[in-house]
Chain A
Amino acid sequence: NAGVTQTPKFRVLKTGQSMTLLCAQDMNHEYMYWYRQDPGMGLRLIHYSVGEGTTAKGEVPDGYNVSRLKKQNFLLGLESAAPSQTSVYFCASSYSGLSSGGSTDTQYFGPGTRLTVL
């Protein structure tokens, strides 16, 4: 099992450009999450999904969109990148969870995508 994988690992964008981050999991997990990690602030939840075809907003959703067309994939899109979106983005998945985005069991994390917006 590869677990949770993220593509790409690194990316540099110019302000206003768009991009999509891909997260894939092979553990048949229902719940998937996107977080961003900024220095000194811990991880913050951007969007999450409680199952195929469903998405919901987390703590910091502005400027991002997501889609969950297949159970194993969760895409995070930046429509018009801004320097404030420079961060490390982590995807996670869990077998069970809460409809509000919490997790009742262990979340498994991908290796992260380091994004710089100039």
Chain B
Amino acid sequence: KQEVTQIPAALSVPEGENLVLNCSFTDSAIYNLQWFRQDPGKGLTSLLLIQSSQREQTSGRLNASLDKSSGRSTLYIAASQPGDSATYLCATNDYKLSFGAGTTVTVRA
């Protein structure tokens, strides 16, 4: 059974600092990995999807890397802003999506 872990559970940084969010998984036989953003009381919004054949994916200030051999993915958010405050979840996709519990980020103005 796939186990997805996100550490730390919460993170607080001053505005402008770069964010590094970690995701680890136990089974490397995945089709892809997705990063989602969840705002309080809201649904999930897909940020980036990395196919198993890719090493990274970029969108604006966001960059996600994938290392299947070590079972790790990292989401980088450059020059953080207060609007980046949210919970970030990663999910591996093998025969189903397996979610981590998320990292709640607070960016202080």
Contact with A along B3-32 (1 / 0, CB 8 A): 010000100000000000000000000011
B interface bracket (residues with beta carbon within 8 Å of A): 20 to 34
A107 to B89, CA, bound (A): 13
Q: Establish whether residues B42 and A102, one from each chain, have CB atoms under 8 Å apart when the complex forms.
A: no
Q: Establish whether residues B43 and A90, one from each chain, have CB atoms under 8 Å apart when the complex forms.
A: yes
A90 to B91, CA, bound (A): 15
Q: Establish whether residues A112 and B42, one from each chain, have CB atoms under 8 Å apart when the complex forms.
A: yes
A112 to B42, CA, bound (A): 7
Contact with B along A82-99 (1 / 0, CB 8 A): 000000001010000010
Given the known interface contacts A42-B100, A90-B44, A109-B44, the answer about A104 and B32 at a Cβ–Cβ threshold of 8 Å is yes
Tell me how many residue pairs across A and B have CB atoms closer than 8 Å: 62
Q: What total of chain A residues lie within 8 Å of the partner, measured CB to CB?
A: 27
Q: Which residues of B contact A118 (CB under 8 A)?
A: none
Given the known interface contacts A106-B46, A109-B45, the answer about A59 and B96 at a Cβ–Cβ threshold of 8 Å is yes
Q: Establish whether residues A111 and B43, one from each chain, have CB atoms under 8 Å apart when the complex forms.
A: yes
Q: Establish whether residues B96 and A101, one from each chain, have CB atoms under 8 Å apart when the complex forms.
A: yes
Q: Which residues of A contact B31 (CB under 8 A)?
A: 98, 102, 104
Which residues of B are interface residues toward A (Cβ below 8 A)? 4, 9, 31-32, 34, 36, 41-46, 49, 89, 91, 93-102
Can you name 26 A-B pairs with beta carbons within 8 Å? Answer: A4-B43, A42-B4, A43-B99, A48-B96, A90-B43, A98-B31, A98-B95, A98-B96, A100-B95, A100-B96, A101-B95, A102-B93, A102-B94, A102-B95, A103-B93, A104-B32, A104-B93, A106-B34, A106-B46, A106-B49, A107-B46, A109-B36, A109-B43, A111-B42, A112-B42, A112-B43
Please give 6 more A-B residue pairs, beta carbons under 8 A apart, in addition to A4-B43, A102-B31, A107-B34. A33-B97, A40-B9, A44-B99, A101-B95, A112-B41, A112-B43
Which residues of A are interface residues toward B (Cβ below 8 A)? 4, 33, 40-45, 48, 58-59, 90, 92, 98, 100-112
